[in-house]
Amino acid sequence: MTVDRRGFFKLAGLGALGLAGARSLPVLGNPLPSPSPPESGPPSGVRWGMVVDLRACLHDEGCQDCILACDHAHNIPQLPDRKHEVKWIWKDPYEEVFPMQAHEYLEDALRGHPALAFCNHCNNPPCVRVCPTKATFRREDGLVMMDWHRCIGCRYCIAACPYGSRSFNWVDPRPYIEKIDPEFPTRTRGVVEKCNFCDERLARNEQPACVAACRNGAMTFGNLADPTSTVRLLLKSRYSIRRKPALGTHPEVFYLV
């Protein structure tokens, strides 16, 4: 953790040279260094990413397994007021998750049907760029993380996220958590939170909770830096899209259509 943070500060120092400098941080678009196996390589050899198979997910439209697994794993409160909702992973109609990739003649299988949405762990994350305290930061392995003890609750990151992936704790969340899991921290009121790609499970060499919970094989998690990883093989063999690609955020979550 500390090493990752230090690396982040180095990047932040580069950012000090100016916003233009920050835009051309090394990781973007460059050919990746020689591939190394996921578990042995240094952080630079690991770039976590996710592939979501929309059709496999649609097999079981009412399925909430991934969402429930995430809610339990991360002590996510179930707030009665929709305005105060906290969500890390959720389902919204395809047209809302992909507003630029929908049209009036869209096939029936997708139109109005739910698509999974969660943090894209962007390669060029606008939330990290705007955070005034570095409470949200990007690790070298691609995870966009949050320090809930540093967040001042200014909500600039919420304004900057083009995917609506961030939630704010408008009230104390603890009374609304069904069953608190002592393994994972609860949050206090007044801080922002979002999907963390289950960094606590990755550290134990486990798949993210949503991936592990999926019965339909709709979610695949892996190392994008490794050309032999399942995620890379999936992307190589099938047509994939990303959310709002024109904004240059470079999401590390891909959708197979």
Partner 1 sequence: MFEKALSGNRGYWGWIFFLLAVIGVGFVCYLKQLTTGLGITGMSRDVSWGLYIAQFTFLVGVAASAVMVVLPYYLHNTKVFGRITILGEFLAIAAVTMCLTFIIVDLGQPGRAFNIILHPTPHSILFWDMVVLSGYLLLNVVITHVTLDAERTGEAPPKWIKPVIILSIPWAISIHTVTAFIYSGLAARPFWMTAILAPRFLASAFSSGPALLILFCLILMRFTRFDPGWEAIQKMALIVTYAMLANIFFILMEVFTTFYSDIPEHLAHFKYLYWGLDGHHELVPFMWASAILAVFSALVLVNPKLRMQRSWLRWACLAVVASVWLEKGLGMVVTGFVPSPLGGVTQYLPTLREVLITLGIYALGALMITGFYHIALAVRGELRSASPS
CA atoms of 188 and 149, how far apart (whole Å): 9
The answer to whether 252 and 49 have CB atoms below 8 angstroms apart is yes
Q: Which of 72, 111, 155, 174 binds partner 1 (CB under 8 A)?
A: 155
In the bound state with partner 1, the residue whose beta carbon lies nearer, of 18 and 182, is: 18
- Window 193 to 252, contacts with partner 1 (CB under 8 A): 244, 247-249
CA atoms of 234 and 50, how far apart (whole Å): 10
In the bound state with partner 1, the residue whose beta carbon lies nearer, of 135 and 213, is: 135
Q: Which of 27, 130, 202, 257 binds partner 1 (CB under 8 A)?
A: 130
Residue 7 touching partner 1 (CB under 8 A):
no
Least separation in angstroms between CB 144 and partner 1:
15
Angle among Cα 146, 244, 242 to the nearest 5 degrees reads 85
Q: Which of 29, 132, 175, 182 binds partner 1 (CB under 8 A)?
A: 132
Residue 115 touching partner 1 (CB under 8 A):
no
Q: Which of 164, 185, 217, 227 binds partner 1 (CB under 8 A)?
A: 164
Least separation in angstroms between CB 37 and partner 1:
34
Residue 16 touching partner 1 (CB under 8 A):
yes
Least separation in angstroms between CB 106 and partner 1:
15
Q: Which of 45, 25, 54, 73 is nearest to 197 (CA)?
A: 73
Residue 160 touching partner 1 (CB under 8 A):
yes
Provide the pairing of β-strand 136-138 with 144-146. Answer: antiparallel
CA atoms of 145 and 1, how far apart (whole Å): 11
Phi-psi sector, 45: left (phi>0), alpha (psi -120 to 50), beta: alpha
The answer to whether 46 and 202 have CB atoms below 8 angstroms apart is no
In the bound state with partner 1, the residue whose beta carbon lies nearer, of 58 and 171, is: 171
CA atoms of 93 and 58, how far apart (whole Å): 11
Pull the structure tokens for residue 82: 């929709």
Pull the structure tokens for residue 219: 């979610």
Q: Which of 75, 123, 167, 220 binds partner 1 (CB under 8 A)?
A: 167
Residue 220: CB atoms within 10 A of its CB come to 22
What does DSSP assign to residue 112? T
Least separation in angstroms between CB 230 and partner 1:
29
Pull the structure tokens for residue 114: 């739910």
Radius of gyration of the chain (CA): 18
Site string for partner 1, 53-92 (x = CB under 8 A): ----------------------------xxxxxx-----x
Q: Which of 1, 2, 19, 239 binds partner 1 (CB under 8 A)?
A: 19
Residue numbers of the site for partner 1 (CB under 8 A)?
12, 15-16, 19, 22, 81-86, 92, 95-97, 99, 117, 126, 129-135, 150-156, 158-164, 167-172, 188-192, 244, 247-249
